[in-house]
A and B are shown apart, each in its own frame.
Chain A
């Protein structure tokens, strides 16, 4: 039940990141067009792209990526290990991931609160308020930590599907 809700949520957030992607494409394209034709750039394009669209594209899909096991890893030695050792490795990996992502979520959470309190802005041709973007960091890292926690619990219960990870089409 909880897993179903989580899967739905993380997928929805992933597509929300996709919406950020499309908005960035349109905003930058329009900015180039207006600059070239009317000498009228859209003020704040750089700041909005960097601090809003990119934060959405990079961070909102993080829980989805973590749950789908799409983060980049090296499974050379892992593949040579016997089944039990593989299970232990996976468990350790999930536990460390939960620990690191929680720590990052906690620290960036402190920053988000601080940023909200002072009403943080960034400089540029226009001042852009950035505390809402700051808040996406702890939220996304915490959700990704939760994704790993779920995977660890599934593994512990022997429910881990062990699907071959769909590697990110990166590089």
Chain B
């Protein structure tokens, strides 16, 4: 049967190309047309902020959701999503957030409460400062206007004496071009996908977290419950594969964009010692803000949840050392044996 798949990124983005377009093609093939997704991209089905709601209401049967759009609905997902500085290896965070979303009791309860079944996580590549002026040291950053994705990132900007600016990603280009913005903080594929390479003259490689809040694949609860176990197995296998594949494709896009920008004259700076140590101090201090916010939103034991998440992150940090990180199939096999194969298909997402 035909179902709707929703992702508000553009169709050519690495988080849509493989994980949605190719995924839909293979799922249709392997389920003999039982599960045929029509992929709607760029917000043509649901606006970004309404992805969770639309998934719950069955407008889409499968969707991406950027968790920071719904802090009140997903306090647990935002608690861990805002812990973006603990480990900034995107591969680790993609696998760890997937395992956490599929297995942590607090997370599972939260997905169920919102009428969705978590399918798999993701992670963008690292967020860097891309600027129209040289930004190398802590002193350089002071007073600069940084476009930030909100949450912990905003607090970090204020912590280092910069001015956080909240504008839609579509306005980053104009802001940098005209100087109403000094730096955009985003994954570096934006140099290409948002044409920032025309206006960015320097990039600072301080890894300001990466974005993995929410989910890459969430399913409408009723849809999930109506699937046969064979078809669920197909979805699990394909998600395991695309979890690995999107990470490599995303990084490849970033490298291509950075290389193009460099040959266009962009300078790449490493952060000075002061900047790095401010980030480390901020990360340590911000944890209590995260916990406080989560408590305000009704999360009962945020300390415990954070500790559980950290142990999953550490586990993946070790696991990924044992595998060729350029080999999609090896990475996908790891996702299967360590995560998906351990779930019980007859009960997952059913209660």
Q: Is the CB of A125 within 8 A of B72?
A: no
Q: Is the CB of A123 within 8 A of B151?
A: yes
* B155-177 to A contact mask, C-beta < 8 Å, 1/0: 00000000111110000000000
Residue in B72, B148, B180 whose beta carbon sits within 8 Å of that of A121 in the complex = B72
* Residues in A neighbouring B154, C-beta threshold 8 A: 125-126
Interface residue A47 (Cβ < 8 Å from any Cβ of B): yes
Q: Is the CB of B73 within 8 A of A118?
A: yes
How far in angstroms is the closest Cβ of chain A from B8?
14
Docked CA distance A136–B12 (Å): 38
Q: Is the CB of B71 within 8 A of A124?
A: no
Interface residue B112 (Cβ < 8 Å from any Cβ of A): no
Which A27-78 residues sit within 8 Å CB-CB of chain B?
35, 39-41, 43-44, 46-47
Docked CA distance A124–B163 (Å): 13
How far in angstroms is the closest Cβ of chain B from A45?
9
Q: Is the CB of B143 within 8 A of A124?
A: no
Docked CA distance A115–B149 (Å): 23
Residue in A43, A123, A125 whose beta carbon sits within 8 Å of that of B68 in the complex = A123
How far in angstroms is the closest Cβ of chain B from A36?
8
Q: Is the CB of A47 within 8 A of B145?
A: no
* Residues in A neighbouring B72, C-beta threshold 8 A: 118-121
Residue in A39, A118, A120, A125 whose beta carbon sits within 8 Å of that of B166 in the complex = A125
Interface residue A3 (Cβ < 8 Å from any Cβ of B): no
Interface residue A92 (Cβ < 8 Å from any Cβ of B): no
Q: Which of the four size classes fits the interface of chain A? A: 10 to 19
Docked CA distance A80–B18 (Å): 56
Interface residue A160 (Cβ < 8 Å from any Cβ of B): no
Name the CB-closest residue of B to A124. B166
Interface core residue of A39, A44, A118 (most chain B CB under 10 Å): A118
Interface residue A22 (Cβ < 8 Å from any Cβ of B): no
Name the CB-closest residue of A to B75. A118
Which A97-142 residues sit within 8 Å CB-CB of chain B?
118-127
Q: Is the CB of A41 within 8 A of B69?
A: no
How far in angstroms is the closest Cβ of chain B from A143?
24
* B43-80 to A contact mask, C-beta < 8 Å, 1/0: 00000010000000000000000001111110000000
Docked CA distance A16–B72 (Å): 29
Q: Is the CB of A46 within 8 A of B166?
A: yes
Q: Is the CB of A39 within 8 A of B69?
A: no
Name the CB-closest residue of A to B166. A125
* Residues in B neighbouring A47, C-beta threshold 8 A: 166
Further 18 A-B residue pairs, CB within 8 A, beyond A123-B68, A126-B154: A41-B163, A41-B165, A43-B164, A43-B166, A118-B72, A118-B73, A119-B72, A120-B73, A122-B49, A122-B69, A123-B69, A123-B71, A123-B150, A125-B154, A125-B166, A126-B166, A127-B71, A127-B150
Taking beta carbons and an 8 Å cutoff, which residues of A are in contact with B?
Answer: 35, 39-41, 43-44, 46-47, 118-127
